[in-house]
Amino acid sequence: MILRAEVDIFDVMEENSYFYIDDDTRRGFLIDPGAQPDELLKLAEQHEFTIEKILLTHGHYDHIGAVNEIRAALKIPVIMGRGGNFYALDAMNNGSKYFGDGIIIEDVTIINDGSEITLDANKNFGVKVIAAPGHTLDGTIYYSATDNVAFVGDTIFFGGHGRTDLAGGSERDLMNTIRNKVFALPDETVLLCGHGRATTVADEKFRPWYA
């Protein structure tokens, strides 16, 4: 089961947080809890979800804003890709300082490209880690071949892609990630984006700007 929760970021934008839940155990992952921790915790309670881990696609403020509160409430680990501490430990790099918040996330678990993250309750339920630098240094895609979905954060959107002008961004790296990693996934893979609607590999790979 995948439940998308659109949360409000500083009254500036909306961001997609995702519950990725094993139907058999009702346990799973919370991906990119960007804001409104009380609302996300309430959703988990209402649906009787048990969240085992928080997974972050990258360390920008609009994807990490509710992490500390949810981790404190549930006593669960926070997982980021390589380079994650560049954002987690620096409010300038993650951008939260510009909004007067100053978010710092300590003691994150850094995960390597190609690793598998599985549930403690069901080792057959999980995601593959795909390093996806470009929008940020620590960009990470969480891919499930079983469900044909990829949680892509701000790497790619419907008809567009993430910006590269913030700390650690690289246009060259982002284009390499999209062409060589996102588009290497099966065409039918549903891309669950950090903002806006979902799309698919097939819908995006023939956009002229990726040629």
pLDDT, tens digit, 9 for 90 and up, residues 84-123: 999 999 999 999 998 878 999 999 999 999 999 999 999 9
- Count up the domains in the chain and report the number: 1
Residue among 111, 51, 52, 103 at smallest CA distance from 79: 111
For tokens 């246009």, name the residue: 171
46-80 pLDDT, tens digit each: 999 999 999 999 999 999 999 999 999 999 999 99
Q: What's residue 105's pLDDT?
A: 98
What percentage of residues in the chain have a pLDDT greater than 70?
100
For the entire predicted model, the pTM comes to 0.97
Reported residue count of the chain is 211
CATH number where 29 lies: 3.60.15.10
pLDDT at residue 12 greater than cutoff 90: no
In this model, does residue 9 exceed pLDDT 90?
A: no
- Residue-number span of the structural domain to which 196 is assigned: 2-210
pLDDT digits (tens, 9 = 90+) for 134-180: 999 999 999 999 999 999 999 999 999 999 999 999 999 999 999 99
The angle, 0 to 180 degrees and rounded to 10, between the axes of the packed helices 67-74 and 37-46 is 40
